[in-house]
Structures are given as structure tokens and as C-alpha cells.
């Protein structure tokens, strides 16, 4: 055995051990538990909406059917013409007894439209426990009860959930759900074993006292990864973070390859900016890539065997994760795409180290330290509108104040927003 084979053998063994440990931690954290006499304090649920996510109506209907005594649902939509409004109105008519409200319109608040949506809904809240939930997730009736349970401990500031990808039909959705059910879910649980802060905004329950301890929503209004940033801040404020075993479903049905690559490129750049150490060791979870590099670099019999073994282990991880989390195995022709999915992840991991630009629903943004975002450029139309506003202010400064014209910095934010520079599209 030469030195190259020895090196890759050591790397392969480390990668295999970490993969098995991560999968074992997933089994441990998501095992079924009982909640006898669990507390049920009232909760306010925030549902930010933008456009028609896949199966939006059935996703939202589950939140009207929760097995929980008292909770409020706030639906937030920025645009009065958003098609999600009609979906919410149908559900409000279908469940008139539920304490639910639709909030339309966002005040200027920051560069993260999701946080801006929260800011519009926040004054309407009635309860001290706040649950932030994305529009593309589906839950079971016991979801709220099994998540709130962990906030009975006053030292806990945030509770988050494991999520599983379901419904795949098209190519990108198949890759997405394999990645969610294998690498993402297992390493989310493994992070909690290792005491690494990891919070997923698809389901994030927190107390208002924890939110106030970090400075409220203003602390994250210009951050791309507001969920993870909240987790880091809450932990620094002295609170603990818990992972609920209740598994929520993330519906991905008709996604294409471009969507898959853009989404994980964005997630990798978030992890690079927020958790560099874990980002750098992340390729150890890319079993197919390690095996292929070994085989191409050595070409020996042991390298070929190692490549085959690592590839099979990666397929098994994705298959077992899917079966455990959602109760069904992936189709064989879908599972055969698992190695290809790993290979797609390798170049976008390298790209995250050198490229801070992201494509977020068709818009170009630059991600800085701690995921602070800024627009890569302002459109020509937006700049022209800004110049017109500034000319009006110079010619009639008093009239401008009387009619509510903003300061130059406020105008920039308003024009950029009107130019859709920060419109995220449907939540993902």
C-alpha cells in the first residue's frame, strides 16, 4: 500500500465513522417519546407567505387542525396581489372558530424580507411563545404539543425540529429530498450531540423573553440566515437550544436541477460565513466524492474497493434516513441518483469559499460576515426613480416633508424594495 492509498484509507475511515455516528444520532434524537401531562401554554404561530408553494393549501390546513388547546395563527403577505391571499381566505372561511388573521403589507424594516414580514405580524401577536414556520412544511396534529414541551424549561430559549423531504417527482426534487433525508437530517442531529448551534427556520419556537434578550427582530433584519443567527445570539445570551423529535415534512415535488444547486449554494455560503470550522470538515460527509478522488488518484484495487464501499455507504445513509424519517423508502431509480447528488455538491462547496454572491429567487445579493446581505447592484430603473425623488426634494423640500418623502437613505431602501431587489419569492 503506497502513501496515497494510506492517506485516503484514513480519510475514508474517518468519513465512514462520522457518517455512522451522525446517522445514529438521528435515530436517537427522533425516536418516539411520550409527553404525559405536557404543558400547553398559548402560542402565536407566524406564517410568512410569498406566492404559491407546492401544496400550499394542504400545508397550511394542517396548522388549523393541531391538537392544542389555544394558539393563534398569523399569516403575513407583503403584496396585496399575492395569490397566497386567496388560499388563506379560503382556510379562514373553512375554520372560522380558529384564532387566525391575515396581515397584508410590510413596513420598511430591513433587507431580509422574511424578517420584514415578521415585523409586520409581530404587533398582532397575543401570546408570549412565538413559533416561526415556513409555508412549505407539513405537520401532524401533535406537532405543537411535542415542540412546546421543551420550552417548559426556563433555560431553553429556542426549540427547532428535524425535517424530511417528501413528494419528489422531478430531478431536482429527488436530489433535494435525498440530501435532506441523508446528509442534512443526520448532521443536524449530530450537531446537537456535539453542542454545535444549529437552528432551522422551517420550525423555530422561542419565547418573547429570549427574543428581547437578543435585541428583538432588529438584530437580524439585515441578515440572510436569521434563523441560525437567532440561535447563536440566544445561546450567547445564556439560553439553551433544544431539538424536538417531532419530524416535519418539507414538500419538494417539482423542483429542477438549477433550483437544487442555487439553494445549496446559498446554504453552503451561509455555513461558510457562520460556522467556518464545520464548513471546512463538511466534505467528509461527501462519501462519493472521497471515493472517486481516491480511485482517480490511485487506480489501485484497494482504491476501487474503497470507492465502491463509500458510494454504497452514502446510498445506504440516504435510503435509511428516508425510511426512518418519513416512513417510506425512496424509489430505486431515485436512490441511484444519490452518488450524482454528492458529486453535484462538491463544486458548489468550493464555490462557497471564493464567491460571496448568491442568486435568491432571481436576485443577485452579496453575503458578508455573519450573513449580512447587500444588493450587488441597483437596477437602472430604480436609480432613475431615486434621482426623480431627489430632484423633487431639492425643488420643494417643505412640500416633500409634508407629503412624506423619505431621507435619501430611506429612499434608497424604498426604491430598491419597489424594484423587487429583495423580493425572495416563495419560501424555501
Which residues participate in catalysis according to the annotation? Answer: 227
Beta-carbon count within 10 A of 162 CB? 24
**CA atoms of 3 and 136, how far apart (whole Å):** 48
Exposed (0-12), middle (13-18) or buried (19+): which is 154, by Cβ within 10 Å?
exposed
Rounded Cα gap, residues 289 and 311, in angstroms? 8
Angle between helices 84-94 and 56-64 (to 10 degrees): 30
Identify which of 198, 124, 206 has the alpha carbon closest to the alpha carbon of residue 162.
198
Instruction: Locate the DSSP E strands across 106-256.
Output: 129-133, 137-138, 156-166, 203-207, 240-251
Name the helix (H) or strand (E) containing 45. Answer: strand 43-49
Angular region, 140: left φ>0, alpha ψ -120 to 50, beta rest? beta
Q: How many residues does the chain have?
A: 428
Amino acid at each position: 500500500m503506497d502513501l496515497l492509498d494510506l492517506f485516503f484509507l484514513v480519510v475514508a475511515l474517518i468519513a465512514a465513522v462520522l457518517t455512522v455516528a451522525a446517522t445514529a444520532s438521528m435515530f436517537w434524537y427522533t425516536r418516539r417519546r411520550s409527553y404525559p401531562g405536557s404543558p400547553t401554554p398559548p402560542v402565536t404561530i407566524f406564517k410568512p407567505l410569498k406566492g404559491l408553494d407546492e401544496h400550499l393549501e394542504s400545508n397550511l390546513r394542517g396548522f388549523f387542525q393541531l391538537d392544542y388547546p389555544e394558539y393563534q395563527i398569523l399569516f403575513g403577505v407583503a403584496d396585496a396581489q399575492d395569490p397566497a391571499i386567496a388560499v388563506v381566505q379560503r382556510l379562514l372561511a373553512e375554520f372560522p372558530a380558529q384564532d387566525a388573521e391575515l396581515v397584508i403589507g410590510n413596513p420598511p424594516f430591513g433587507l431580509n424580507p422574511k424578517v420584514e414580514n415578521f415585523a409586520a405580524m409581530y404587533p398582532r401577536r397575543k401570546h408570549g411563545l412565538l413559533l416561526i414556520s415556513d409555508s412549505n412544511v407539513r405537520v401532524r396534529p401533535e406537532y405543537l404539543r411535542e415542540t412546546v414541551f421543551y420550552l417548559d424549561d426556563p433555560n431553553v430559549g429556542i426549540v427547532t425540529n428535524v425535517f424530511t423531504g417528501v413528494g419528489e417527482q422531478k430531478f431536482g426534487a429527488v436530489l433535494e429530498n435525498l440530501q435532506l433525508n441523508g446528509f442534512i437530517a443526520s448532521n443536524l442531529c449530530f450537531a446537537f450531540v456535539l453542542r454545535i448551534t444549529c437552528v432551522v427556520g422551517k420550525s423555530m419556537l422561542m419565547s418573547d423573553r429570549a427574543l428581547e434578550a437578543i435585541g428583538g427582530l432588529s438584530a437580524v433584519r439585515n441578515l440572510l440566515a436569521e434563523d441560525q443567527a437567532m440561535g447563536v445570539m440566544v445561546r450567547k445570551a445564556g439560553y439553551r437550544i433544544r431539538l424536538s423529535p417531532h419530524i416535519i415534512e418539507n414538500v419538494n415535488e417539482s423542483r429542477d436541477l438549477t433550483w437544487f444547486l442555487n439553494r445549496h449554494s446559498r446554504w453552503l455560503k451561509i455555513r461558510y460565513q457562520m460556522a467556518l470550522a464545520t464548513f471546512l470538515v463538511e466534505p467528509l460527509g461527501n462519501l462519493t466524492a472521497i471515493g472517486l478522488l481516491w480511485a482517480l488518484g490511485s487506480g489501485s484495487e484497494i482504491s476501487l474497493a474503497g470507492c465502491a464501499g463509500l458510494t454504497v455507504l452514502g446510498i445506504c445513509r440516504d435510503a435509511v434516513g428516508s425510511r426512518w424519517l418519513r416512513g417510506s423508502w425512496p424509489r430505486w431509480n431515485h436512490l441511484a441518483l444519490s452518488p450524482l447528488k454528492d458529486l453535484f455538491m462538491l463544486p458548489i462547496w468550493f464555490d462557497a469559499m471564493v464567491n460571496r454572491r448568491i442568486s435568491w429567487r432571481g436576485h443577485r445579493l452579496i453575503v458578508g460576515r455573519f450573513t449580512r446581505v447587500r444588493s450587488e447592484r441597483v437596477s437602472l430603473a430604480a436609480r432613475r426613480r431615486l434621482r426623480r425623488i431627489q430632484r423633487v426634494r431639492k425643488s420643494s423640500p417643505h412640500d416633500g416633508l409634508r407629503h412624506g418623502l423619505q431621507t435619501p437613505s430611506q429612499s434608497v431602501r424604498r426604491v430598491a424594495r419597489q424594484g423587487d431587489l429583495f423580493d425572495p419569492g416563495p419560501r424555501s
